[in-house]
Structure 1
């Protein structure tokens, strides 16, 4: 069975402390639960979670959905938003984890990347350097979410195919966001290297597609 890799890059900088990160934890549980109710997703989807603050941390390496232990993600008291470093880590993980097609077997489906942040990348030069490298990998779709009043769609536009805005950083908002991401993941598979655009499902009222 060909795998459908899904990578989540989640902002855990100091500004996410408290209700926002608890809401993200709720959202992840909602997403995993919903995917597990889809028989096709249960057979194909693998999930990796990478968090970023002053450093980038692989909280969950690429793991099959039926084996995934949902982590409890926390944040430091304070700290920067090193999204560029997270993209570097992602590039390394992709090279290690994605199965490429060979003469004997088909490789993984093109992976999905979901990036959530509530602020501007602190390591802007690294971020700008990494964006074209990540885009060249061949993701089925790169979806960004800017959450809260300090995040701007322009900050993720160089990286993402689609950027959505989430105004409220509470459990209801993040649950809606992750349900929508689940629908996008379940919407179809695409082989690595294919050029067709993946269409996204209509977003719920709490979410606005801005790019």
Structure 2
């Protein structure tokens, strides 16, 4: 069975400390449970969780959904948002992780990337340098999520046309967002299997799509 690799690049900078990081953990756990109820996802889905604050950390390397275990994600009480370093890490991982097709076997489906932030990059120059490299990797979809009033939609729009904004990073809003993410992943599974271009499902009312 061909793999559908899905990468999550999650902001764990100081502003996420407290309720937001707890809400993020709960929402991710709910998303994994939802995906596990989809037989197609169980067959093909592989997930990687990467966080970024002052440092970039691979919380879970690319792992098949069947055996995926989500550890508790923590964050420092203060510190920068090194999104550019996070993108650089994703680029290196995708280059190593992805199985390319050959004459004898089919490679992975185009990977998906979800970038979540409640702020803006502290390393904006590196962030902008990495955008062309991300685009060159030919993801099936890159989705940016800006959560809360401090998150910068315009900077995420430089990375991808698919940007959504959440009014807050509270528990109910993040739960709705990651439910939509699971719908998006399931859509990616189905569309890539038919060779169609992937289209994102309509988001719930808590999520604003940035045009």
Normalising by structure 2, what TM-score? 0.96
Matched, 1:66 2:66: yes
Query: What's the counterpart of residue 176 of structure 2?
Result: 176
In the TM superposition, structure 1's runs of 4+ consecutive aligned residues that sit over 4 Å from their partners are none
Aligned-pair CA distance for 1:188: 3.2
Cα distance in structure 1, aligned partners of 2:153 and 2:49? 22
Query: Is the counterpart of residue 27 in structure 1 residue 27 in structure 2?
Result: yes
* 5+ long unaligned stretches in structure 1: none
| 1:10-89 equivalence runs, <5 A | 10-89=10-89
> What is the Cα deviation at residue 180 of structure 1?
0.1
Match of residue 129 from structure 1: 129
How many Å separate the matches in 2 of 1:69 and 1:28?
11
| Cα deviation code 1:70-100 (max 9, x no counterpart) | 1100001110000000011101100111101
Partner Cα distance (1:124, 1:91) in 2: 17
RMSD: 1.2
Q: What are the Cα deviations for residues 97-132 of structure 1, in whole angstroms up to 9, with x where unaligned? A: 110101110000001000000111000010000011
1:158 Cα deviation (Å)? 1.2
Partner SS, residue 168 of structure 2: coil
Deviations 1:143-172 (A, max 9, x none): 010001111210101112300000021110
Tell me the TM-score normalised to structure 1 length: 0.96
State the alpha-carbon separation in 2 of the partners of residues 79 and 168 from structure 1: 20
- The 8 Å contact of residues 141 and 161 in structure 1, kept in 2 or not, is answered as no
